[in-house]
Amino acid sequence: MDSAHERALSITFAEYEGQVIEFLAANARDTYGSEGAWDQVRLEAAALIEAVIERTGGP
């Protein structure tokens, strides 16, 4: 789980933009297509992973 947490935070906007955005529906691109939106998604994913780690007692 620790590596999942690290990976969630390490994916750059450029990587996300190059590998994900083109597959999103147009309305989702409007919502998730900015660097700020990507930062929010990364932080939320990392927080969820942290919660799982805490709830399960560690990695």
Tell me: the pLDDT tens digits for 11-49? 999 999 999 999 999 999 999 999 999 999 999 999 998
Using CA atoms, how far apart are residues 49 and 2, in angstroms rounded to an integer?
Answer: 8
Residue whose tokens read 């590596």: 3
* 18, part of any domain: yes
30 lies in some domain:
yes
In the chain, the number of structural domains is 1
Count CA within 13 A, CB hemisphere, residue 28.
Answer: 8
Higher pLDDT, 3 or 58: 3
- Identify the pLDDT of residue 4: 83
pLDDT in the model for residue 59: 62
Q: What is the pTM of this model?
A: 0.75
pLDDT at 1 over 80: no
Residue 8 has pLDDT above 80, yes or no: yes
The domain of 45 spans 2-54
